[in-house]
Amino acid sequence: MDKKTKEKLQDPKIQKINSSKLMWKFRFYGFFKNLRFFEPFLLIMLLDPSIGLSLFEIGLLISIREIFTYTFEIPSGVIADKFGKKRELLICFVFYIISFVFYFFGLDPDIAVSNLIFLVSASIFFGLGESFRSGTHKAMELLWMENEDLMDYKTHVYGSTRAYSLLGSALSAILAVFLKIFIPANKWIFLITIIPYILDFILIASYPSYMNDHQPITGGYWNQLKIGFKGVGPTLKSKKIRKAIFSSAIYDAIYKTLKDYIQPIMVIFISIFLIQIGKDETDTETANIYISIILGGIYCIFYLISSLSSQNAFKLKKLFHHAKTSMDILFDLFALILLLEALFMWIEIPMVIIFLYLLIYVFENFRRPLAVDYMGEVIPKEERATILSIESQIKSISVLIFAPLFGFIADFSIPLLFLILAICMVIINHVFLTGRPRLEEK
């Protein structure tokens, strides 16, 4: 352990954070939330011939999900500010559980009605869950930090909670391999995923009552909703805030849309691998076991290393002296990785492709705590939940557009998609999003 790390750990406020009972609840909230056992296999389950969707059609399902996330983003932020964040977070987990039930029926190839009816319903309720969750828990963490005079430690708090979220994802990936191999059908993964979400519901219910603080409602809900929307206008006139939320939202939207493309990429290369070692590529059972083990292992490694990067995000902030500068650099690096991914997919080197995809996960988990830290600095306290929901709303609009568009191009060529996207990202970042905060006007 180096000297700086020792000094950091000896800081009384760091010790206070690490020993806080509520801080441990924040950590386990993310841990349980990320026990999504279906995640390493969702795309390949939907691409399975028994379901028969294309990447474009999967993109359309993602767009439906994001439409509902988008539609309810600002209202959910206003509800959190006006009725209580804790109450809203409990509702969001009810929506998630309902969506998992619909996914269960949607992945049944023998169901009497169209699978799409259930998959669309699952996407709708998942989108509602996302809209009610986004920004709300971060606002609750900010409230706790303000009450405990810990606002200078935002990056440490967010990095720590995100690290536990990613540990949950890593454990989820390992368990998912066993579930995928031994359960009778893919659909059962979604019912099993309900268990940790019930545990998270109970955990949130145990949060202190001040987490449900809200402003008194006068003049009716719809009047308050209009006031909430109007109050956002002056805040968004700030150049700092605009750049912060658009930089965060666009980067995260691209990551969110692309992060699981490793699944169809690996299915292609695993099929090539089976042929090379003399296995029958038509042996579905053998192929599924290889795919489950390799994808589960990849996701586990991704999340474990991402967890370490999330905990050390504060070091990147110190290196570049400001969170926004770090955000801008990581945006360009993401574009560079996509360019390299396209190159190595064309020349078919799977290990390099996996390594580069690992960097995509690492950079996202460096960047997200920095983005939340910076937005926490520039957004007024009384508007945080609403503005953070707007950031998530912009992300939803972006994913809504990106998912079918990326899917359409990817059905022709995934390397071509990565090449086009790399060029566009560099242009967007340098024309619209970069800029040192000290040079910006309010």
Write out the DSSP string of 140-165.
HHHHHHHHTT-GGGHHHHHHHHHHHH
User: Mapping DSSP to helix (H, G, I), strand (E, B) and coil, where does residue 217 land?
Assistant: coil
Residue 308: how many other CB atoms lie within 10 Å: 12
pLDDT grade, residue 209 (50/70/90)? confident
Spatial CA neighbour of 224 closest among 379, 67, 77, 393: 77
> Residue type at 244?
A
pTM > 0.85: no
Helix axes 384-412, 414-428, angle to 10 degrees: 140
pLDDT grade, residue 439 (50/70/90)? very low
pLDDT grade, residue 442 (50/70/90)? very low
Distance CA 274, CA 295 (A): 15
CB half-sphere exposure, 169, CA atoms < 13 A: 22
More confident of the two residues 3 and 318? 318
Q: What length is written for the chain?
A: 442
Could you tell me which residues come within 8 angstroms of residue 123 by beta carbon, excluding any fewer than 6 positions away?
61, 62, 64, 65, 68, 99
Distances (CA, A) of 95 to 132, 153, 169, 221, 284: 9, 32, 20, 22, 35
Could you tell me which residues come within 8 angstroms of residue 177 by beta carbon, excluding any fewer than 6 positions away?
40, 292, 293, 296, 297
**Residue matched to tokens 């993401």:** 334
Please, are residues 215 and 51 in contact by the beta-carbon 8 Å criterion? no
CATH of 22-439, one of 3.10.620.30, 1.20.1250.20, 3.40.50.300, 1.20.120.1750: 1.20.1250.20
Spatial CA neighbour of 240 closest among 316, 323, 131, 315: 323
pLDDT in tens, 323-335: 778 888 899 999 9
pLDDT in tens, 395-425: 878 988 999 999 999 999 999 999 999 999 9
Distance CA 30, CA 141 (A): 12
Could you tell me which residues come within 8 angstroms of residue 436 by beta carbon, excluding any fewer than 6 positions away?
322, 324, 325
More confident of the two residues 190 and 326? 190
Distances (CA, A) of 22 to 18, 28, 143, 157, 158: 10, 10, 12, 12, 14
Please, are residues 197 and 100 in contact by the beta-carbon 8 Å criterion? yes
Spatial CA neighbour of 390 closest among 258, 259, 256, 244: 244
Please, are residues 80 and 88 in contact by the beta-carbon 8 Å criterion? yes
| pLDDT for residue 223 is more than 50 | yes
pLDDT grade, residue 276 (50/70/90)? low
Distances (CA, A) of 51 to 37, 118, 193: 19, 12, 21
Please, are residues 193 and 35 in contact by the beta-carbon 8 Å criterion? yes
Please, are residues 242 and 236 in contact by the beta-carbon 8 Å criterion? yes
Could you tell me which residues come within 8 angstroms of residue 384 by beta carbon, excluding any fewer than 6 positions away?
135, 138, 139, 142, 376
Write the DSSP assignment of 318-369 as a string of letters. Answer: HHHSSHHHHHHHHHHHHHHHHHHHHHHHHTT-HHHHHHHHHHHHHHHHHHHH
Mean pLDDT of the chain: 82
Please, are residues 211 and 80 in contact by the beta-carbon 8 Å criterion? no
| pLDDT for residue 311 is more than 70 | no
- Provide the pLDDT for residue 229: 56
> Residue type at 126?
F
